[in-house]
Amino acid sequence: MQLLNVLIRNEHDGVLVPIPQYPLYSATIALLGGCLVPYYLNEESNWSLDVKDLRKQVIAARDKGINVRGLVFINPGNPTGQCLSTTNLQQLIDFCFAENLVLFADEVYQQNIYQDDRPFVSAKKVLKDLGSPYSESVELVSFHTVSKGFLGECGQRGGYFELTNIHPQVVEELYKVASISLSPNVTGQIMMGLMVSPPKPGDISYNEYIAESKAVMESLRRRAHIMTDGFNSCENVICNFTEGAMYSFPQIKLPPGAVSAAKSVGKAPDVFYCLKLLEATGISTVPGSGFGQKEGTFHLRTTILPAEKDMPEVMDKFQKFNTTFMAEYSDEKYVVTSKL
């Protein structure tokens, strides 16, 4: 928020934000009176980033008089769960260099990684490895928080941002603005201290720390598989593997009957599906429209956080619901009803 506040001066200032995105960005940009410039992640290639699309969106925004000043990316993604490749990160940095954009690297899920062949790579590492002229000129802000990873405990709040290549005068201004919040919570700061400086070998709690954090991460990794496999075993559902973060974002291919039935009760099709799912099973999910989705596609977002022992039952309930739903709304009668 503080960073975007410094960047956005008026409604002509634009920030590139991925679609689908975590609504924190759309809401903050709206609150600050700026302009969200969308760029679309590519679902067919595991929600990767398409630099051609980025370029297209910037040109379109500039044609409308928008002064594009920054680019946000979320890695690993929320709601999409992908980890960006080093090549994608290099392309992003190159793009920001060429277009003179501040790069906002939301890396709050950096510890939540569930596959070995796509590890988390920080934008700062890629920037430094690229060397001159990138490493000393691309302005980068990297974010992290204690609420994710394996530390996340309800109510414990703390986070930081790291500034690279930001002008010292801007840094001073940021300190001034941050100082308005006089009393940060103490336990949150302790958590943050523990996150950046965890127990070391030989420390009294080291073995317990390693065992507990490993157990949490391994369980999350198993849950990511159970959930993605569960979705992909359903009729009309396609789900990219949750490589990282805490979410699955399956696409639900709704039959025309479901789209018509939703319309007849004044609901968006994804909202209709999620409400029916909630009513039938008690499973609460978020319609994809809350995050942005390509026109004509429907998604839902769910976390991979249910207790591991409950996961098979949750997925079983989902599968049964989905089968019944697809059978019911494949019926022509719903399409006919909407035409009346």
Ligand X SMILES: Cc1ncc(COP(=O)(O)O)c(C=O)c1O
Contacts with ligand X by CB under 6 A lie at: 22, 24, 74, 78, 106, 108, 145, 147, 159
At its nearest, how many Å lie between ligand X and the CB of residue 79? 8
Q: Using alpha carbons only, what angle is made at residue 177 by residues 96 and 186, rounded to the nearest 5 degrees?
A: 110
223: closest CA among 245, 252, 208?
245
Sequence letter at residue 216 = V
- Non-local CB neighbours of 287 within 8 Å, separated by 6+ positions: 268, 270, 271, 273, 274, 298, 299, 300, 301
Assess contact for 70 and 58: CB atoms under 8 A.
no
108 vs 258 by CB, closer to ligand X? 108
Is the CB of residue 256 less than 8 Å from the CB of residue 335?
Answer: yes
Nearer to ligand X by Cβ, of 24 and 177: the residue is 24
Residue number, 7 or 66, with CB nearest to ligand X: 7
192 Cβ contact partners less than 8 Å away, ≥ 6 residues apart: 146, 158, 159, 160
Q: CB 159 → ligand X: shortest distance, Å?
A: 5
Of residues 81 and 257, the one with the C-beta less far from ligand X: 81
Comparison of 104 and 334: residue with beta carbon closer to ligand X: 104
Q: How far is the CB of 145 from ligand X (least distance, A)?
A: 4
Q: To the nearest whole angstrom, how small is the minimum distance from the Cβ of residue 157 to ligand X? A: 6
Residue (4 or 261) nearer to ligand X, CB: 4
Q: How far is the CB of 109 from ligand X (least distance, A)?
A: 7
Looking up tokens 């379109």 gives 60
Tokens of 183: 């009393």
Q: How far is the CB of 81 from ligand X (least distance, A)?
A: 11
Q: Looking at beta carbons, which residue is closest to ligand X?
A: 147
Contact by Cβ (8 Å): 78, 209: no
